[in-house]
Amino acid sequence: MPAPLSLRLFIEQYASLPEEDWKKIALLFHPRTVQAGQLLLAEGQICRHLYFLESGLLRYFILKDGSEITKFFTDAPYVFTSQVSFTTQAPAKESIEALEDGTLWEISLADANALLAHASWSTFVRKLIQEVQKYTEEILTELQTTTAEDRYKKMLSSQPQLLNRIPLKHVASYFGIAPQSLSRIRKNMLASRS
């Protein structure tokens, strides 16, 4: 079963994709379904695949003192992996959990590396890595320079539909606060609107 058109359209946002290259890429991605609550990767495992998330929502988290700390979320359509674990084949320092039922397509490290011989795939990978680095820097800067309330307001204005799909405990963890603090922030925002 060849990869879906949605993957082709996603790649074409980053690089021009000749038909011949697409045919090779499409044959190397394999489908997989996930259920809400399923771990795609557990901390300590080696990440064996690069994935295209066709539908669904994911959460990356780490364990600290027995508590789960959410690092970020990935919404479809997007390409994801545990970058360090995948590229070095070392045990992952994070876990990846499906928050919703979803469909994804996976490609092995060997196949992904073999595709680097094609300029279209190489350009796509380079631009995607740059985009992920930019997002990561933005998250780190926000953590150091803005309050949880400001980060919540920003997410509320830029991604309101995402907030409706993520359990509040994970949203609170992502902002580095307790669920009760997030409830207080939300109540204060509602009160200030009335």
Domain residues of the chain, as ranges?
A: 5-145, 146-194
pTM: 0.89
Q: Can you list the residues of the chain whose pLDDT is less than 50?
A: none
Q: Say how many Å lie between the first and final Cα of the chain, rounded.
A: 54
Whole-number Å distance between alpha carbons of 99 and 59 = 7
pLDDT of 179 reads: 86
User: So what's the pLDDT on residue 32?
Assistant: 95
Is the Cβ–Cβ distance between 50 and 76 less than 8 Å?
no
Architecture field, domain 5-145 = Sandwich (2.60)
Query: Which strands make up the sheet holding 102-108, listed edge to edge?
Result: 30-34, 102-108, 49-55, 78-80
CA distance 69 to 83: 18
